[in-house]
């Protein structure tokens, strides 16, 4: 029986890197992509079943080229995990239009470019999993999140829309909504992050959800995500009041 294969974008650091190592340790072939080739090469040199495919997901044609290279190497792709993201909290505190455009270009359209690259492959194959990584910031509006939150909310909507489109082809679309995970991106935050977890914890949760369960959304840690899900159902007046008190308390 041939090894299964996963393609991971955003695989040079954080959740993407931890997930690459997790799948590799389980015997999968792992194709990793990110902009920083040197970090990818360090990873691929450390694990014989991880291969590097440097990529800037904002370039649609490069996404297609990278996926073709991966197909040529492995032939069969079972899971695509699209987790490229960017975040600059200092620029999120005001309406910085250029910053918002950059965030959407990477977080939303970078993911769309990646999905477009694999769309026909999975439609023809008629099985497999396309995974979109969002965030708890996509559940509802949060303070100081003028670009990041809306980009993740857009990904949530996209995942739900694509769920129906790909279900007709027996392809599973999965949404991943992590809470606070200690990564180079969250290290930029200037506030206390409740229930902060490691990338390895996230990788364990994602692996379990993708391989051993058949669910639409993988969200963790439950102690945080379930609370936020319940808050999202509240009327706006109550939600704004509660969140205002919570975020004020959380500030350093």
How many structural domains compose the chain? 1
First to last CA, the chain: 54
Q: Which domain holds residue 147?
A: 5-250
pLDDT tens digits in sequence order for the chain, 252 residues long: 578 999 999 999 999 999 999 999 999 999 999 999 999 999 999 999 999 999 999 999 999 999 999 999 998 999 999 998 887 777 777 888 999 999 999 999 999 999 999 999 999 999 999 999 999 999 998 887 889 999 999 999 999 999 999 999 999 999 999 998 887 777 676 667 778 899 999 999 999 999 999 999 999 999 999 989 998 899 999 988 888 776 664 444
CA–centroid distance for 16 within its chain: 8
Compute CA distances 78 → 181, 206, 218, whole Å. 26, 15, 18
Which residue do the tokens 């440097």 mark?
Answer: 54
Other beta carbons within 10 Å of 190: 10
Decide the pairing of beta strands 129-133 and 172-178.
parallel
> CA 229, CA 221: separation in Å to the nearest integer?
12
CB 192 within 8 A of CB 233: no
Give the domain CATH number at 230.
3.40.50.720
């Amino acid at each position: 029986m041939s090894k299964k294969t996963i393609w991971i974008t955003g695989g040079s650091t954080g959740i993407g890197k931890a997930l690459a190592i997790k799948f590799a340790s389980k015997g999968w072939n792992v194709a990793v992509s990110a902009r920083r080739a040197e970090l990818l090469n360090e990873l691929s040199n450390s694990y014989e079943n991880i291969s590097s495919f440097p990529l800037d997901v904002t370039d649609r044609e490069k996404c297609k080229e990278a996926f073709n290279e991966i197909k040529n190497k492995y032939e069969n792709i079972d899971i695509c995990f699209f987790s490229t993201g960017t975040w600059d909290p200092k620029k999120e505190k005001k309406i910085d239009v250029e910053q918002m455009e950059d965030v959407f270009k990477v977080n939303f359209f970078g993911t769309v470019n990646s999905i477009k690259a694999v769309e026909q492959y999975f439609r023809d194959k008629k099985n497999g999993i396309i995974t979109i990584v969002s965030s708890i910031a996509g559940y509802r509006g949060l303070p100081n999140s003028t670009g990041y939150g809306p980009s993740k909310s857009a990904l949530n909507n996209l995942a739900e829309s694509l769920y129906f489109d790909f279900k007709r082809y027996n392809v599973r679309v999965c949404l991943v909504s992590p809470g606070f995970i200690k990564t180079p991106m969250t290290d930029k935050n200037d506030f206390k992050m409740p229930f902060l977890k490691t990338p390895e914890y996230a990788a364990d949760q994602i692996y379990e959800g993708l391989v051993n369960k058949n669910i639409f959304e993988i969200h963790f840690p439950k102690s945080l995500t379930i609370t936020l899900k319940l808050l999202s159902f509240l009327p706006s007046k109550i939600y704004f009041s509660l969140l205002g008190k919570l975020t004020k308390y959380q500030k350093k």
